[in-house]
């Protein structure tokens, strides 16, 4: 337009100048008074000047026009380059591009559009974008989209669309309105990306963050969150819930003897059985290791929680067939009811943990409810652990000795060393109170080492004083026995004290031997080579295999006192006692009966051929000084029951 305007002005100026030249030129020449010859000559000169000026002006106009045309051509070339670049981007971009006219008819799509949606360009040109709708969004969603587009000229957000195959998938969509030179909307351009992979990654991260990868059950984090929500709801609505903590009994034996792969398979199978017991309002989680958690909401009564615990325990009754083996596993369950005057979720978890410990202490394969006494007991346990450490450092431990008698002639043949704790404030703490704490805290190893060394030294002292004792028996904890270094420790103690190995007898519980029978056999053989005596303690409670028992290099079986208590009147106890004594005799092992309290028990056992006996009938555990003064077995036998 500017070019046309400039040309018009130049044309007008030229016409004006030419007209003035023609009109005024002749008048000016006539005024000079020249003759005709001179006038004709000047007329010619005037014509030449007019031609020259016209030519110069025309030349200038042509030059300007040529310059403008060159510049326009250059600009047009640049525009074409930009258009070619834009087209290349449009065709090669990984984002889908869709262009519609003002009436929302599709006029152009790029290859990425076809790759993402599955529709070719021919299938969608002239169609409306509603062809891609998934049905996941309602009319209000699209109305808000178009209102934002009209108001702001653009919109971006997440849209779920449908591919040609029918698959519904998520897109990140950007739509922009394109206006013409008059400001009217001429086209709409939509650019979108398929974010299915991003959504899938989000789901995987959420799965990893909140679910156990082995069992696919909620993990501790998600379980704690749900417990917090349940606690808030029950507190607000004055309803009730229950938390059950479930710990598999002796699961570590599976890992140690059959491998962790089998252990993982067992955990998966246990989780499936537990999950089969669930109903609405329950959440089962694997909290870590062999511990599971079950949240029950609502829980109308303690009876409902007890029934649920029984169902879980019953689900484990049948064997698991894994890796070609039949495996059995039990569980212990601690139950905490809430809100029940509980202040926080953390307290709910602590209470359930205390109840779980109580269930384990009661013999496992059962359940226990939390009560306030458990909190006090747990607090005392923490205090006792610290005090027990001080007891080792401050020489507060004592050894008492319980006599063992030959049941055939009544002779005192040996003693069993039993540890006691002389607390500075509480006095003599019973072993049943601190030995389990020592085992849980790991202090039992240090206590075992102290008992072994002190008992050996005391036996040497008795022998030097002329006491007629054949042996001193020392209990070995399962922790010390399973370390695999007991033979080295015994060797050091015997060398340091000078005790004859034949005068030392080590008592290992049947359950400790059965934790890993093959390894136990090797450890017992190494101890046997040292020349010490070996006894299986608490026999009858650890489910020994007779095939394994006959291979064990032991000297004695100690019949557990639970079978002696009912003698001679309890027929079941009598039958078990006869069987154990007969078994010992057939394997050429001596049999020791524990817990003898009445003369009729002594007579019954003597008639069955039992070799040795110990218990309150013969005397309670006493100090080393009293053992030393017992020149005659009758001295101890005459002590009243319950003597210190």
d(CA 125, CA 308): 63
What is the 8-class DSSP label of residue 484?
A: S
Residue 220 above 70 pLDDT? yes
pLDDT score at 269: 93
Please tell me the chain's helix, strand, coil percentages from 3-state DSSP, rounded to the nearest 5. Answer: 55, 20, 25
Q: Does residue 376 sit within a domain?
A: no
pLDDT score at 227: 92
d(CA 297, CA 338): 10
Rounded mean pLDDT, 26-39: 64
The CATH number of whichever domain residue 307 belongs to comes to 3.30.70.270
pLDDT tens across 425-453, in order? 888 887 877 887 787 777 888 888 899 99
Q: Does residue 643 sit within a domain?
A: no
d(CA 415, CA 403): 4
Both tokens of 606, joined, read: 């003597």
Residue 535 exposed, middle or buried by CB count within 10 Å (0-12, 13-18, 19+): buried
Find out whether 300 and 319 touch, Cβ atoms under 8 Å.
no
Mean pLDDT of the chain: 82
Helix axes 444-464, 431-441, angle to 10 degrees: 130
> Using CA of residue 345, residue 347, residue 352, residue 353, what is the dihedral sign?
positive
Residues 215 and 175 in one domain: no
Backbone angles phi, psi at 401, to 5 degrees: -130, 130
Structure-token match 């009544």, residue found? 410
Residues 537 and 506 in one domain: yes
For the chain, counts of helices (H) and of strands (E): 24, 21
Both tokens of 104, joined, read: 């929302």
Q: Which of 64, 89, 114 is the last residue in one of the domains?
A: 89
Residues 625 and 548 in one domain: yes
Length of the chain: 644
The residue with greater pLDDT, 89 or 262, is 262
d(CA 639, CA 616): 10
Residue 638 above 50 pLDDT? no
Residue 489 above 50 pLDDT? yes
The CATH number of whichever domain residue 555 belongs to comes to 3.20.20.450
pLDDT score at 304: 85
Residues 390 and 535 in one domain: yes
**At 454, is the pLDDT very low, low, confident or very high (cuts 50, 70, 90)?**
very high
Count of alpha carbons within 13 angstroms of residue 444, beta-carbon side: 19
Q: Which of 149, 170, 200 is the last residue in one of the domains?
A: 200
Residues 628 and 562 in one domain: yes
Both tokens of 22, joined, read: 């023609």
Both tokens of 540, joined, read: 């009858």
Find out whether 317 and 331 touch, Cβ atoms under 8 Å.
no
Residues 55 and 115 in one domain: no
**At 460, is the pLDDT very low, low, confident or very high (cuts 50, 70, 90)?**
very high
pLDDT tens across 581-608, in order? 998 888 889 999 999 999 999 999 999 9
Residues 245 and 104 in one domain: no
Residues above pLDDT 90, as percent of the chain: 23
Q: Does residue 97 sit within a domain?
A: yes
d(CA 178, CA 362): 79
Residue 416 above 90 pLDDT? yes
Q: Does residue 375 sit within a domain?
A: no
Residue 364 makes CB contacts below 8 A (sequence gap 6+) with: 249, 250, 330, 332
Residue 396 above 80 pLDDT? yes
Residues 467 and 408 in one domain: yes
Q: Which of 316, 346, 370 is the last residue in one of the domains?
A: 370
- Split into its structural domains, the chain has a count of 4
- Long-range pairs for 621-625: beta carbons < 8 A, 24 or more residues apart: 621/400, 621/401, 621/402, 621/416, 621/418, 621/420, 622/400, 622/401, 622/402, 623/398, 623/400, 623/401, 624/399, 624/401, 624/458, 624/461, 624/462
Q: Does residue 67 sit within a domain?
A: yes
pLDDT score at 255: 79
CA distances from 508 to 400, 530, 539, 555 (A): 19, 16, 10, 12
d(CA 494, CA 460): 10
pLDDT tens across 173-188, in order? 889 888 877 778 888 8
Rounded mean pLDDT, 533-558: 76
Q: Does residue 70 sit within a domain?
A: yes
Residue 246 above 80 pLDDT? yes
**At 22, is the pLDDT very low, low, confident or very high (cuts 50, 70, 90)?**
low
Q: Does residue 523 sit within a domain?
A: yes
Residues 433 and 473 in one domain: yes
> Using CA of residue 121, residue 124, residue 128, residue 134, what is the dihedral sign?
negative
The CATH number of whichever domain residue 171 belongs to comes to 3.30.450.20
Which of 6-15, 20-29, 167-176 holds the top average pLDDT?
167-176
Residues 364 and 502 in one domain: no
The residue with greater pLDDT, 393 or 52, is 393
Residues 405 and 495 in one domain: yes
Q: Which residues pair with 159 in a beta bridge?
A: 171
Pairing type for strands 291-296 and 320-322 reads: unpaired
pLDDT score at 520: 84
| Residue 613 lies in domain | 384-637
Residue 455 makes CB contacts below 8 A (sequence gap 6+) with: 399, 417, 472, 474, 504
pLDDT tens across 314-359, in order? 999 898 988 788 888 989 999 888 887 677 888 889 889 988 988 8
Structure-token match 């890992």, residue found? 255
Q: Does residue 642 sit within a domain?
A: no
Residues 196 and 216 in one domain: no
Q: Which residues pair with 403 in a beta bridge?
A: 415
Find out whether 188 and 176 touch, Cβ atoms under 8 Å.
yes
Residue 579: how many other CB atoms lie within 10 Å: 12
pLDDT score at 415: 92
Q: Name the CA radius of gyration of the chain, rounded.
A: 50
């Amino acid at each position: 337009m500017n070019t046309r305007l400039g040309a018009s002005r130049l044309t007008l100026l030229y016409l004006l100048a030419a007209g003035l030249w023609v009109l005024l030129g002749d008048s000016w020449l006539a005024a000079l008074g020249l003759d005709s010859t001179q006038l004709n000559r000047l007329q010619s000169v005037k014509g030449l000047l007019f031609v020259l000026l016209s030519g110069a002006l025309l030349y200038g106009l042509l030059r300007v026009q040529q310059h403008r045309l060159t510049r326009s051509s250059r600009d047009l070339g640049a525009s074409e380059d930009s258009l070619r670049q834009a087209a290349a981007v449009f065709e090669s971009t990984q984002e889908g591009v869709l262009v519609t006219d003002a009436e929302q008819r599709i006029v152009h799509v790029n290859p990425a559009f076809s790759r993402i949606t599955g529709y070719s360009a021919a299938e969608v040109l002239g169609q409306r974008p509603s062809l891609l709708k998934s049905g996941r969004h309602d009319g209000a969603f699209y109305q808000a989209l178009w209102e934002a587009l009209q108001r702001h000229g653009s919109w971006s957000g997440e849209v779920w669309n449908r591919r040609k195959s029918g698959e519904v998938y998520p897109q990140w969509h950007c739509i922009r309105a394109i206006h013409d030179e008059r400001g009217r909307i001429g086209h709409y351009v939509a650019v979108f990306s398929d974010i299915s992979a991003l959504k899938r990654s989000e789901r995987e991260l959420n799965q990893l963050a909140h679910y156990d990868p082995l069992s696919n059950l909620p993990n501790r984090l998600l379980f704690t969150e749900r417990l917090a929500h349940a606690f808030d709801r029950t507190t607000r609505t004055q309803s009730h819930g229950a938390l059950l903590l479930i710990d598999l009994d002796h699961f570590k034996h599976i890992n140690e003897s059959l491998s962790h792969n089998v252990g993982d398979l067992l955990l998966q199978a246990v989780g499936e059985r537990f999950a089969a017991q669930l109903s609405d309002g329950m959440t089962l989680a694997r909290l870590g290791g062999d511990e599971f958690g079950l949240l029950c909401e609502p829980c109308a009564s303690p009876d409902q929680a007890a029934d649920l615990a029984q169902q879980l325990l019953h689900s484990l009754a049948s064997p698991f067939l894994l890796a070609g083996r039949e495996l059995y596993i039990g569980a212990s369950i601690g139950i905490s009811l809430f809100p029940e005057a509980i202040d926080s979720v953390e307290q709910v978890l602590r209470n359930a943990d205390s109840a779980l410990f109580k269930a384990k202490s009661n013999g496992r394969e059962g359940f226990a409810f939390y009560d306030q006494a458990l909190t006090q007991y747990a607090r005392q346990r923490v205090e006792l652990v610290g005090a027990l450490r001080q007891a080792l450092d401050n020489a507060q431990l004592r050894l008492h000795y319980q006599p063992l008698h030959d049941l055939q002639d009544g002779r005192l043949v040996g003693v069993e060393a039993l540890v006691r704790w002389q607390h500075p404030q509480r006095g003599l703490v019973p072993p049943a109170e601190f030995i389990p704490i020592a085992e849980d805290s790991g202090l039992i190893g240090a206590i075992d080492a102290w008992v072994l060394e002190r008992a050996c030294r005391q036996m040497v002292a008795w022998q030097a004083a002329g006491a007629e004792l054949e042996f001193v028996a020392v209990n070995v904890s399962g922790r010390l026995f399973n370390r695999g270094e007991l033979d080295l420790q015994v060797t050091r103690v015997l060398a340091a004290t000078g005790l004859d190995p034949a005068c030392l007898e080590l008592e290992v519980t049947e359950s400790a031997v059965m934790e890993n029978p093959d390894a136990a056999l090797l450890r017992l053989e190494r101890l046997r080579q040292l020349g010490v005596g070996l006894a299986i303690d608490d026999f009858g409670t650890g489910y020994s295999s007779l095939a394994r028992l006959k291979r064990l290099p032991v000297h004695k079986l100690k019949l557990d006192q639970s079978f002696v208590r009912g003698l001679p009147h309890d027929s079941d106890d009598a039958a078990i006692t006869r069987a154990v004594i007969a078994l010992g005799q057939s394997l050429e092992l001596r049999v020791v009966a524990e817990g003898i309290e009445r003369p009729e028990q002594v007579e019954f056992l003597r008639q069955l051929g039992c070799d040795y006996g110990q218990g309150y009938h013969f005397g309670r555990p006493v100090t080393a000084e009293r053992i030393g003064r017992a020149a005659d077995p009758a001295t101890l036998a005459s002590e009243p029951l319950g003597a210190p």
